[in-house]
Amino acid sequence: MVVFWSCSTIGVMVWLCIGPSNLRFDLGPGPVAEGFTKISPGDRFSAIGFGFEPGAELEGIDRGGQDPLRSDFITSDRPFYFSVAVPEGNYKVMVTLGDRQGPSDTTVKAELRRLMLEGIKTTPGQFCTRSFVVNVRRPQIPGKGQVRLKERERTSEWLAWDDKLTLEFNGQRPCVCGIEIEQIGVPTVFLLGDSTVCDQPLEPWNSWGQMLPRFFKAEVAVANHAESGESIRSSLSAGRFDKVFSVFGPGDYLFVQYGHNDMKDKDPNAPSRYKADLAWIADQVRARGGTCVLVTSMERKAGVDQDTLAGYPQIVRQVAREKGLPLIDLYTTSKVLYKALGRDLDKAFQDGTHHTNYGSYLLAECVVQGIKDLELPLARYIVDDFSGFDPNRPQRPDDIRIPPSPGPQGQRPLGS
């Protein structure tokens, strides 16, 4: 059950009380570092506007020493969440991880299971400070009401729309010494699409859009506005494009991937309308000084040997060619990938359309490689440890182990 209450007032209170430049938290039972706010294991999110979410089972450890930030930390043998109420925007988050006397292994996700840091390991006495950017959004559209949210977006997906920046600390032994948060202005990569792109709320489902942030440095934000079960038509009518355009600016990107649900429209005019909508979207992005990147839908599992998408990828290619737009042909790349997976193909899929953490990670790598191949300016923000991806030679399941997020399982994505 999700309890609804407004965080917007709380976010303003936090802003006024400790200031937008002072969201610096020292975690653990020891002395607090200068300029930081002390966070103890029992500090739960409340009217003060920051703290751990309910259900966290935490241990605070103080090793002593001259450095108050790194002398203590908070850990757990289960994933835990830390939230801060903030206004809508992009936030640079810097986390300090490690333990003077033991190893640590930390994976960080944000908001609705967006992968930010993957398997960050430290040895005893070693500390690591890593940064990433989290996009926080609200459903309100200035002058146009708000996005028409689905019931699932008001319940299991509410973390994607509330006024909190929520971090999930996961891994074999997360050791969190400090968290620093500041609002920043950076280029934003907006995503719009369907269930194969969106931030899936529950395990074991996952989509490439929520893996994508892991592959970018803390100089760009990923804002995933895709939603399960959507077509271009439904996203337009729900105000999802209006919401993106209300915060879209010069230098931003919009990645658009629809098709799985659009192809089910039996209206004879559906393909031509789909094409016209893509062209209109591209014009809107260009008029705002941004870059529209079209992405063809990846194939379904049954599409390894034959097309299941009724020619819709070809329409996307036509629009890209006619409008002079960058195109990432995920349809073609996915067919190569699926064949290369061989006996591991089932491990990439949760059903005939939707993917596991493993499958979505591989597809995200396909998208990142597409960005590199296109030589988009965005490519300079790709993380240094991405050396390239060949869909003919994907990693095996044991090479990609994203720890599952806590919570219930079994809510199937909309669409097929």
Residue 329 identity: D
Q: What's the pLDDT score for residue 19?
A: 53
Q: What's the pLDDT score for residue 9?
A: 45
C-alpha 413/C-alpha 29 separation (Å) is: 41
Which two tokens mark 68? 């108050």
Going from the C-alpha of 275 to that of each of 101, 234, 263, 299, the distances in angstroms are: 59, 15, 12, 19
Q: Name the CATH topology of 186-406.
A: Rossmann fold (3.40.50)
Which one, of 295, 113, 263, 275, lies nearest residue 189 by Cα? 295
Which two tokens mark 259? 């098709």
Which two tokens mark 132? 């990433």
C-alpha 69/C-alpha 73 separation (Å) is: 8
Identify the segments of the chain with pLDDT beneath 50: 1-18
Which residues, in sequence order, are bridge partners of residue 193? 257
State CA 61 to chain mean position distance.
Answer: 31
Tell me if 44 sits within 8 A of 54, measured CB to CB.
yes
C-alpha 182/C-alpha 22 separation (Å) is: 8
pLDDT tens digits for range 37-81: 999 999 999 878 999 999 899 999 999 989 999 999 999 999 999
Strand order in the sheet with 114-122: 50-52, 80-85, 164-173, 104-110, 114-122
Which two tokens mark 232? 């271009």
Q: What's the pLDDT score for residue 412?
A: 83
C-alpha 331/C-alpha 295 separation (Å) is: 8
Q: What's the pLDDT score for residue 51?
A: 96
Tell me if 207 sits within 8 A of 354, measured CB to CB.
yes
Q: What is the 3-state secondary structure (H, E, C) of the chain?
A: CCCCCCCHHHHHHHHHHHCCCCEEEEECCCCCCCCCEEECCCCECCCCCEEECCCCCCEEEECCCCCCCCCEEEECCCCEEEEEECCCEEEEEEEEEECCCCCEEEEEEECCCEEEEEEEEECCCCEEEEEEEEEECCCECCCCCECCCCHHHHCCCHHHCCCEEEEEEEEEECEEEEEEEEECCCCEEEEEECCCCCCCCCCCCECHHHHHHHHECCCCEEEECCCCCCCHHHHHHCCHHHHHHHHCCCCCEEEEECCCCHHHCCCCCHHHHHHHHHHHHHHHHHHCCCEEEEECCCCCHHHHCCCCCCCHHHHHHHHHHHHCCCEECHHHHHHHHHHHHHHHHHHHECCCCCECHHHHHHHHHHHHHHHHHHCCHHHHHECCCCCCCCCCCCCCHHHCCCCCCCCCCCCCCCCC
**375 Rama class: left (phi>0) / alpha (psi -120 to 50) / beta:** left
Which one, of 248, 244, 191, 227, lies nearest residue 364 by Cα? 191
User: Angle, nearest 10°, between helix axes 312-323 and 270-287?
Assistant: 40
Q: 254-293: buried (b, 16+ CB within 10 Å) or exposed (e) per residue?
A: bbbbbbbbbbeeeeeebbeebbebbeebbebbeebebbbb
Is-same-fold flag (1-185; 186-406)?
Answer: no
Domain borders along the chain are: 1-185, 186-406
C-alpha 220/C-alpha 184 separation (Å) is: 10
CATH superfamily of 1-185: Galactose-binding lectin (2.60.120.430)
Q: What's the pLDDT score for residue 71?
A: 96
